[in-house]
Amino acid sequence: MPPFGPGLLVSTEDGVATVTLSNPARRNAMTRGMWEALPRVLAGPAADPGVRVLVLTGADGTFCSGADISEFAGPDGVRGASEASVAAEDALAAFPKPTLAAVRGFCVGGGCQLAAACDLRFAAEGARFGVTPARLGVVYPPSSTRRLVELAGPATAKYLLFSAELIGHERALRTGLVDEVLPDDQLDKRVREFADVLRSRSQLTQVAAKEFATAWPSARRLAHWAQVAETSGESAEGAAAFLERRAPRFHWPRTEG
């Protein structure tokens, strides 16, 4: 798995791109260089028509322990790191194909911020989650706060932000912070199986649903999707496959025009 930049490893196999956070000396804490590199890392698989799913994970049994606090010193430390983290989070949230977070160990601070920006989160038993700016007197970015509220609800978001306490996988699953919890030795297999399910489905449906779930589309975008749906042939293929009891062969272009 070749490194793309400091602390980021990228690989692609059978239509699934995997980005691995790798800063083992600091439990995969995100340095400013990692935050700044992530949007460039994501641009490659976003533009690659052969990539259908993105998986974000961490190396050596830990997802991410947060931002690298050692870089917060100096007048521009916190502000620069915050701006870079929000840009990286926004790039991940805007990734045009389904994104899955595969979480082991600690998923804290900036790590939880990145996991929340993915479409779905799969966690290993024993994973720990937290959002910890209250330990440092840092104001959590408004976009990150809203994303956390929309994902886990206002009460859980306030619990995490007010207290900076960590929660276990049981509470994370119960509150919607994660979607599935697996034994550690089954996590990778399940994520790969689910990625393969997504690869077999209509990308037209996925891309439109992702856009609609983020915000109500404008009249122009609604008209665009109506035209795409009408001319793509995807629904006709789906209906034919259902009636013929076979797997559908979807061919909608993998890059949107």
Classified as helix, coil or strand, 187 is: helix
Q: Token pair for residue 236?
A: 């006709």
Residue 1 scores a pLDDT above 70: no
Of 113, 16, 98, 15, the C-alpha closest to 64 is 113
Q: In the prediction, which pLDDT does 220 show?
A: 83
Neighbours of 11 (CB within 10 A): 13
Phi, psi of 245 (to 5 degrees): 55, 50
pTM of the model: 0.90
pLDDT digits (tens, 9 = 90+) for 167-200: 999 999 999 999 999 999 999 999 999 999 999 9
Q: For residue 4, what pLDDT is reported? A: 57
Q: What is the pLDDT of residues 209-248, one digit of tens each?
A: 999 998 777 878 878 877 887 788 888 887 788 788 888 8
The per-residue pLDDT for range 128-145, each reduced to its tens digit, is 999 999 998 989 999 999
